[in-house]
Amino acid sequence: MAETNANGKESEVGCGSAGGDQPGSGGNQPSSPAQASGQWPPSRRGRWLRAIGLSLALTLFVFFAAAEYVARHLGPLLRSSVVATLSGRFHAPVELGSLQASVVKGWGGIEVEGSGLRVLGPASFPVDSGQPLLSLRRFRFRASLTALLHRHLDLAWVSIDGLNLHLPRHREPGGAGSPPGLAAPKPPIRITLHSIECRNATLSFAPSGPGKAPLILRIQNLKLTVPEASAGGPGRALLYDAQIINPKPVGDIHAIGHFGPWNHTDPRSTPVDGHYTFRNVDLSSIRGIAGTLFSEGDFNGRLDQIEVNGVARTPDFRLDVSSHPLPLSTTFHAYVNATDGDTTLSSVQAVLQHSHFTAQGSIMNIHGKGHDIHLVAHMPNGRIEDVLRLTTRSAQPAMVGTVTLDARIHIPPGSERVIQKLEAEGTMNLHDLRFTNAKLQDRIDSLSLRAQGEPREAAAAQAGNGQPQAASQMAVEFSFDQGMLVVPSLNYVVPGGTAQLHGAYFLNAGAFQFVGFVRTQAKASQMVTGWKSVLLLSLNSVFKAPGAGLQLPVSISGEHNTVRFGLDSRGVDEPAAQIAAGLRATYPAPAAGSVKYSPGSHS
């Protein structure tokens, strides 16, 4: 019922049971507090959440079921795409053992794993016992389902375990022209890639000729990166980063650079360049030498002809016949045939302690034996004490002075110590030569003064009362083989006299023998004073020689630090080779792997 209030406005007044609306009687009042606040009842909200969850689960189930179905049925499609892509890239038939695709939970893509992939060599190349050009033991990559729907796999990475790249020999001269490229089918799914990561990779080369060994390079870790401008496309070089353990001498190699583009008509002609470091190189793995080497450099060219410019430093280089390590550094320019390991040394600039020398030559890899080394060395202004420290065990070198050396050196392959298989021949000239043994130098000074006819000064010099003054000169022709130094000619000069000798020095035993003539300016009677001079007057004519006051046949021999001088008119005509044979017979060679005698100072 409506009534008018004090302001003249009508208002509704409830009349109780007399006819007013009761709660729940179907009027306009809210039925519950939840409805009054605009919220659904808990029971109704729960039904909606369960419906949404069920729909989401059903959607995910359908998605993964569909993805699994696609993955299972995608195998043949991916298989044919991988085979067609590699066949087109290498212009050769491809075999694939197995390939499986599975859904990666939580990512929405697939993971592909394969094994037993083989890229066969072109038919126009020599067959190397059926060995494929390329083989992969296992490989793996991931791809999104979206990419599969677009039939284009843009792979960020491919992981490979057990890669072997085998390069066949060059085609025979006069054979057919460039092998025709294999007409590979168009892949159902286009594949491009950006990075390949390999473990346990091997790069092997078929023997390049008779007597050559197959060269095998084992790579611990290898990363290949495709430049962005050419991702997955042919005709461009790959960036590589390789870590290698070199077997002999043992050391760690790290190389970065470019490989390619792949030459399918002649794989050995594929370009390569880069920078390398060779660290922690243990030279003692080569029998007969020792030291720790470090080398680095740059290289470029083709696999069968790589130009290398590098440096090498060995702060503690030594031979096993010596206990004195010396610093050795080299700068070199070389050409390396990476297919068989043969190296041509175009130029080597080296410094041993204070002695500069140059060398050139070759290092050839001989099947089953090792390396055959040929060198031509020239030392224009070295120090003889550096050479002696490297080759003797003496606490100090026997002499000091300037040396000029020219030699041809051959180190044949084999397991023997370097010093035992070393072969050399050449000439050596020593200037301003002085002996480090003070008594021996005093004796040389005394003999020089007597040879000049100054016996009184000679007596003072031999007593050690004078300053060393007799700087010697020496010219030597030599050959070295199996530890034996044969000297056909040795011309030793001091002021007032000369010695023309020949003989041999057996390094294994530290034994030597030289014979020849000593010639002096002064006559016999002029070398002494007093009554001795008078007695020798009658011998002046006996020992007189054309152009000399005196000529005597002499013999110098000894072992280690023992030296014996004497007159010997019978043995002066014995050739140096015969003297060497006598030393070998007297001092048998030590057993293999041992050093029976220790070469020392022969002063």
pLDDT in tens, 409-461: 999 988 888 888 899 999 999 999 988 888 878 888 888 888 888 888 887 77
- Is residue 494's pLDDT more than 70? yes
First to last CA, the chain: 147
In 3D, which of 239, 265, 88, 62 has the Cα closest to residue 180?
A: 265
364 phi, psi to nearest 5 deg: -105, 140
Q: What percent of the chain has pLDDT over 90?
A: 35
Helices H / strands E in the chain, number of each: 9, 28
- Residue 311's pLDDT is 97
* Distance from the Cα of residue 560 to its chain's centroid: 38
- Residue 396's pLDDT is 84
Mean pLDDT of the chain: 80
Confidence category of residue 171, pLDDT binned at 50, 70, 90: low
- Residue 167's pLDDT is 83
- Is residue 144's pLDDT more than 90? no
CA distance 88 to 96: 15
Encode pLDDT of 294-340 as tens digits.
999 999 999 888 999 999 999 999 888 787 899 999 999 999 887 77
- Residue 70's pLDDT is 58
Confidence category of residue 99, pLDDT binned at 50, 70, 90: very high
- Residue 12's pLDDT is 42
Span of 61-75, 276-290, 441-455, 456-470 with lowest mean pLDDT = 61-75
The stretch 493-514 carries a mean pLDDT of 90
- Residue 414's pLDDT is 85
- Residue 305's pLDDT is 87
Residues in a beta bridge with 225: 195, 239
- Residue 493's pLDDT is 93
- Is residue 213's pLDDT more than 80? no
- Is residue 2's pLDDT more than 50? no
Output 489 or 588, whichever has higher pLDDT.
489
| Most confident of the ranges 68-82, 177-191, 457-471, 506-520 | 506-520
Transcribe 293-328 into DSSP letters: EEEEEEEEEETTEEEEEEEEEEEEEEETT-S--EEE
In 3D, which of 390, 413, 358 has the Cα closest to residue 248?
A: 413
Encode pLDDT of 380-398 as tens digits.
999 999 998 988 777 788 8
- Is residue 362's pLDDT more than 70? yes
- Detail the DSSP E strand segments found in 353-411: 355-366, 370-383, 399-411
The stretch 520-532 carries a mean pLDDT of 88
Output 223 or 365, whichever has higher pLDDT.
223
- Residue 267's pLDDT is 86
Q: Is the dihedral of CA 283, 406, 506, 327 positive or negative?
A: negative
Output 125 or 176, whichever has higher pLDDT.
125
**Planar angle of CA 483, 484, 490, nearest 5 degrees:** 140
How many alpha carbons lie under 13 Å from residue 506 in its C-beta half-sphere? 25
Q: What is the pTM of this model?
A: 0.74
CA distance 533 to 543: 14
Output 131 or 595, whichever has higher pLDDT.
131
SS3 107: coil
The stretch 202-214 carries a mean pLDDT of 76
- SS3 track for 441-492: HHHHHHHHHHHCCCHHHHHHHHCCCCCCCCCEEEEEEEEEECCEEEEEEEEE
Encode pLDDT of 79-93 as tens digits.
899 999 888 888 888
Length of the chain: 603
Confidence category of residue 27, pLDDT binned at 50, 70, 90: very low
Confidence category of residue 235, pLDDT binned at 50, 70, 90: low
Span of 40-44, 102-106, 152-156 with lowest mean pLDDT = 40-44
- Is residue 160's pLDDT more than 60? yes
- Residue 579's pLDDT is 93
CA distance 336 to 295: 15
CA distance 541 to 93: 95
CA distance 441 to 461: 9
- Residue 337's pLDDT is 84
Encode pLDDT of 458-488 as tens digits.
877 776 665 656 788 999 999 999 889 999 9
- Is residue 598's pLDDT more than 90? no
Output 251 or 159, whichever has higher pLDDT.
159
Crossing angle of helices 455-462 and 438-451, in 10° steps, is: 180
Output 589 or 233, whichever has higher pLDDT.
589
The stretch 209-225 carries a mean pLDDT of 82
Integer CA distances (angstroms), 528 to 240, 394, 457, 519, 534, in order:
80, 35, 11, 16, 9
Confidence category of residue 176, pLDDT binned at 50, 70, 90: very low
